[in-house]
Amino acid sequence: MQFETLRIERIEPRLLRVTLDRPQVANALNTRMGHELLELWTGLADPGEVRCVVLTGAGDRVFCAGADLKERRGMSDADWQAQHVVFERQYWALLEVPVPVVAAVNGHAFAGGLELMLACDFAYAVPTARFALTEVTLGIMPGAGGTQMLPRAVGERRAKEIILTGRPFGAAEALEWGLVNRLVAPETLMNEALATATAICDNAPLAVRQAKKSIHTGLQTDLKSGLLFEIEAYNRLVPTADRREGIAAFNEKRKPRFEGR
């Protein structure tokens, strides 16, 4: 895939690195990036060989500063809403990507940038990163999942404080509150993220996808319904070649060769 605002790299056939590539404007989301992210995530609805994605930002200061407010200056209401539809669709498409997406947060993640991180499956961040949902300070509100994903990550009361004040907070707080999984030095962030992604790639791809889907679906429903969905997802793996390969490899004391079938 060739894009203007994104840099796409195949680290290996199974692993994709995606870089938000507008460092001159803090990797802010403009309309072009919205369309390109939508195309990327939609294309990964059928991931082919890809088993994991690492998402990061260009440069060493900012992951993503949110929407490009310079582009938005002077927009009509209709143009603003039309642009936001593109943003909404790309965030929702990201949530539906069947393979895990790991955020390697190389710097600050504000507004839509934080929402982008929240739409990933989990995140590693540098200790100097700062986070905020600043929309209410601009006369709007989070509209790309922030009011839904943040409470699920940090709890309702803390999410209300973050969203209603618009105040930034640091990486140590993000780690303590469960917003990021790990703080990693800048020079090793990408290696850590890629190592984790590689470990995911080494596992049975159908099993990983089913587990991810079960977690996502279960969190949207009651416990009993979630448990029933989990069993349905589990049973679909029983007749797979990968399940037979995994058990054979364990008993033969060798590394399994999973093929996604």
- Distance, in Å, from the CA atom of 101 to the CA atom of 18, rounded to the nearest integer, reads 10
- Tell whether the torsion through CA atoms of 139, 140, 141 and 144 is positive or negative: negative
Does the annotation count 187 as an active-site position? no
Cα diameter, the chain: 66
Instruction: Write down the catalytic residue from 115, 187, 252, 259.
Output: 115
- Distance, in Å, from the CA atom of 100 to the CA atom of 18, rounded to the nearest integer, reads 13
Residue 17 near residue 54 (C-beta atoms within 8 A): yes
Of 99, 177, 179, 95, residue with least CA distance to 144: 95
3-state helix, strand, coil split of the chain in percent (to 5) is 50, 15, 35
The kind and range of the H/E element at 148 are helix 146-154
How is residue 137 written in tokens?
Answer: 């300070």
- Distance, in Å, from the CA atom of 143 to the CA atom of 245, rounded to the nearest integer, reads 44
Task: Give Rg (Cα) of the chain.
Answer: 19
Instruction: Write down the catalytic residue from 39, 135, 187, 232.
Output: 135
Does the annotation count 49 as an active-site position? no
The strand pairing partners of 56, in sequence order, are 19, 104
How many residues in the chain? 261
Residues known to be catalytic: 115, 135
